[in-house]
A = this chain, B = another copy of it.
Amino acid sequence: MIFALRPSERSGRPTLWIPLVRRIREPFKGLWALPGGPLSHSESLPDAASRNLRDTTGLAPSYLEQLYAFGGLHRSPTQRVVSIVYWALVQPTEAALADESENVRWFRADRLGELAFDHNAIIDYALWRLRNKMAYGSIAYHLLGEYFTLAQVREVYEAVLDRELDPANFRRQVKATPEIEETDQYLQGGKHRPPRLYRFTGRPGLDPDNRSTP
């Protein structure tokens, strides 16, 4: 389950997109589904998630976290399947390089049709978690490049939370977080006062998967 920001076709503002793969066999042949695959005997869970991500879309995530283990009895009509789902954030530069093809395509996270298996429910839950983490933790920066303006951070929040935020108040809050570092660079090229560039110096969260990285 991969999230990335891409400009909306209409407004040009960044919105949330996810890549899906088309089922080429039964069950649910022809429907779109989350990328995934089997867990090999010799790889850890996050390794397997990264490999699957790379194999199907060519993407390398800037953030990877376990979402949930889904094990309902009737998730697949043919057999009992337990899926340990991970979710990833990729930066826009990465997302632009992603392989697209007849059977791999990006979709807006808020405009999905009917997907294979219980994947609609999985995405709903992932979106809920993303919004939650965004409200507390410092996760939004993994959807941006190394340098960014405060307005870009605000656009990320607006895209994910789906509501507008007061620019001045948002600045004040972000600037108060110690993990945000001011640089001496400014972003030129806009038709207005050039905004200052910042960078994120924090570390990802502390899951069991990556607890030992202090």
Report A's interface with B, CB cutoff 8 A.
39, 41-45, 66, 68-73, 80, 82, 84, 121-122, 125, 128, 206-208, 211
Say whether B84 contacts A72, CB under 8 Å. no
Q: Which of B73, B80, B121 contacts A208 (CB 8 A)?
A: B121
How distant is the Cα of A130 from the Cα of B84 in the complex, in angstroms?
22
B42 touches A73 (CB 8 A): yes
Beta-carbon contact of A82 and B45 below 8 Å: yes
Contact check: which of B41, B68, B73, B206 meets A66 at CB < 8 Å?
A: B68
Asked if B39 contacts A82 (CB within 8 A), the reply is yes
Most buried by B among A71, A82, A125, A128: A71
CB distance from A122 to the nearest CB of B (A): 8
